Amino acid sequence: MRCITRGLHSYRYAHSGSSGWQVVIGIETHAQLKSKQKLFSGTFFVATCEQPNAHVTPFDAGFPGTLPRLNQECVDLALRASLALKCAVDPRSSFDRKHYFYSDLPAGYQITQHYKPFARTGSLQLPHLERPPVRIKQIQLEQDTAKSTYDAQRRLTLIDLSRAGSALIEIVTEPDLRSPEEAGSYVRTLQSTLRAIGVSDCNMDMGSFRCDVNVSINRDGDKLGSGTRCEIKNVHSIKFITAAIRHEIGRQRAILEQGGTIEQETRGFDPNTFETYTLRSKENAEDYRYMPDPNLGHLHVSEARLNELSSTQPNLPWEIHERLVKQYGLSEVPANTLMGLEEEHLSRGKGGRGPVAFFRMVCDADQRRNPQIVANWMTQHLLGYLSSRGLTYEDNPIQAAQLGEVIDMVNDGVLTNTSAKHLLRYLLDSPSTAVTELAEAKGLLSRGPVTREELRNLCRRVLDASPQSVADYKKGVKNQKLIKRFLGSVMRESHGRAEVVAVQQMLEKLLR
Ligand SMILES: Nc1ncnc2c1ncn2[C@@H]1O[C@H](COP(=O)(O)OP(=O)(O)OP(=O)(O)O)[C@@H](O)[C@H]1O
Ligand SMILES: [Mg+2]
Ligand SMILES: [Mg+2]
């Protein structure tokens, strides 16, 4: 299904579920910058600080007479975002005051870049969707507000000024998205992009990544984007974003099909009913009385600075994925699993070496190591053992060199796969012990296949240790279950060297 229009991307998805209608979506995203200090004050910004009002200067609290001083680290992070989103950076942008009265805005205005944002006209390619890249209209630097929490019991709004004045970038798309699914994909891709380059944690739960979603619909054949948009403010998860858009499409369609008109509104989303509701109409829209901030000069960005940042820009997710596939020869599934782990690691924002770097260290240390096998050991076994202990990759005590050694020992026939899994678990408990020493101490080193004599002794030892179970077996009580239990014990004792079938036969023989 295709339609032709000028200006907006002229394609649509059949699965948007709105036959006869075209859906137009644009998203404004506020991403909290991972800078150490706030945008205009020297205060440290600690996103996870529990104690309220712990990081506030008089400037953050809006005291008269205090002056802003632009923090270069925030500018650099914002520029990194604009490079990743292929924007044109304005060599000379400026800051404006956006006035409104609200308890979370101490100064009565927010410093933003209304008239001259620092970056414009970028794009973001969505993976797995055949469509042109989403156009980025602009990115602007701005201050965050304080954090307000409503205490329903005491009927009080509590204000925490620690967040006031911390640095945000607002990333505004052109109205290029055509379905709830595309909107979800855009948000996900933007998150992974900003995380990969270390610009933001993009954690929607923690409020470091907040989206406003603009939705309009118009009849097929009408000018694309000619419908009136409604803006749904602050939707807190990708699931809610898609749900809010779905509801909004249905609501607008019902009104239009009954001959009504859509009012331009700012709406909220109720996560309990999955419905949007009116916050304020256009007539009640605020007049922000934008004016250039007289206390701040222009923001100058030189070509040299941009080149410098560009040369030290970390790889983007698709570049890392491509490297995993092309350089390391990984197939899609392990490459995607590793990317997923990397993303989780970055979203936790604890820093440190991520899973992809760990994988590369294991592979690069010895060219004979098969990357596919390394990825399997990491994603299937190591990850499983860590999560069964409630640990994440950041807590992983095993060194890349140690995992490499375990893998090599399997490859050299010194360890069986099963023994290597045991060894990995032992290593998690005593990571400072040398790998071979631990394997030796735990009797995991392969001494070739178990001989018949050895097997008989092993089986006998296991049976002798459980006389009651043996008696039950002979009475014919729960034989299947008992034999499985004996079998498990023998396999464990043999450290995986014994053959399951041989063990079962020997046990049955001894029990006869
Ligand atoms: N017809 C439309 N249908 C859906 N979205 C639209 C339409 N026209 C514009 N938009 C989207 O609405 C958003 C407008 O954001 P922008 O920041 O420019 O202005 P704003 O919402 O008026 O300002 P504020 O930042 O104060 O909320 C953009 O993402 C844009 O793509
Ligand atoms: Mg906006
Ligand atoms: Mg808006």
Q: List, in order of start, the domains of the chain with CATH numbers.
A: 26-215+283-303 (no CATH), 313-442 (no CATH), 452-511 (1.10.10)
What is the spatial distance between Cα 226 and Cα 326, in angstroms, rounded to a whole number?
Answer: 44
Q: What is the pLDDT at residue 129?
A: 72
Which residue owns the Cα nearest ligand 1 atom 13?
A: 26
Q: What is the pLDDT at residue 27?
A: 98
Ligand nearest to the CA of 285: 1
DSSP 8-state symbol, 168:
E
Which residue owns the Cα nearest ligand 1 atom 28?
A: 26
Which ligand 1 atom lies nearest to the CA of residue 226? 1
Whole-model pTM: value is: 0.80
Which ligand 1 atom lies nearest to the CA of residue 228? 1
CA of 310 to the centre of ligand 3 (A): 30
* Residues 6+ away with beta carbon under 8 Å from 260: none
CA of 29 to the centre of ligand 3 (A): 9
Which residue owns the Cα nearest ligand 1 atom 11?
A: 26
Which ligand 1 atom lies nearest to the CA of residue 173? 29
**Dihedrals φ, ψ of 323, to 5°?**
-65, -40
Q: What is the pLDDT at residue 448?
A: 67
What is the spatial distance between Cα 139 and Cα 141, in angstroms, rounded to a whole number?
Answer: 7
Average pLDDT per block of 10 residues along the chain, 512 residues long: 38 51 97 95 78 91 94 97 97 96 94 97 88 96 94 90 95 97 96 94 92 96 93 94 96 94 94 92 81 95 96 91 94 91 84 88 93 94 89 87 93 85 91 88 76 90 92 86 90 77 91 86
CA of 214 to the centre of ligand 2 (A): 10
The answer to whether 140 and 112 are in contact (CB under 8 A) is yes
Residues having CB closer than 6 A to ligand 1 are 24-28, 172-175, 214-216, 225, 227, 229, 231
* Residues 6+ away with beta carbon under 8 Å from 299: 70, 75, 92, 93, 94, 95, 118, 141
Q: Cα 6 vs. chain centroid, distance in angstroms? A: 35
Tell me, what amino acid is at 288? Y
Q: Can you point out the beta strands (E) in 194-229?
A: 209-219
Dihedral angle, C-alpha 76, 77, 81, 87, nearest 10 °: -20
- Give the strand pairing for 88-89 and 21-32: unpaired
Ligand nearest to the CA of 249: 1
CA of 494 to the centre of ligand 3 (A): 66
Name the residue among 201, 169, 6 with its Cα closest to residue 76. 169
Query: Which pair of structure tokens corresponds to residue 393?
Result: 């990759």
CA of 176 to the centre of ligand 1 (A): 11
Which ligand 1 atom lies nearest to the CA of residue 98? 26
Q: What is the pLDDT at residue 6?
A: 36
Beta bridge partners, 276, equal: 269
Q: What is the pLDDT at residue 390?
A: 87
Confidence check on the interface: ipTM exceeds 0.90, yes or no = yes
Q: CA 487, 490, 496, 500 torsion: positive or negative?
A: negative
Strands laid side by side in the 109-112 sheet: 109-112, 96-99, 291-292
Which residue owns the Cα nearest ligand 1 atom 29?
A: 26
List b or e across 116-151, with b for residues whose CB sees 16 or more CB atoms inside 10 angstroms: bbbbbebebebeeeebeebbbbbbbbbbbbbbeeee
Q: Which of 214, 235, 286 to mutate to test the pocket of ligand 1 (most atoms within 8 A of CB)?
A: 214
Ligand nearest to the CA of 26: 1
CA of 212 to the centre of ligand 3 (A): 6
In this structure, which residues have their CB less than 5 angstroms from ion ligand 3?
28, 212, 231
Q: How many C-alpha atoms does 439 have within 13 Å on its Cβ side?
A: 24
* Residues 6+ away with beta carbon under 8 Å from 442: 422, 423, 426, 495
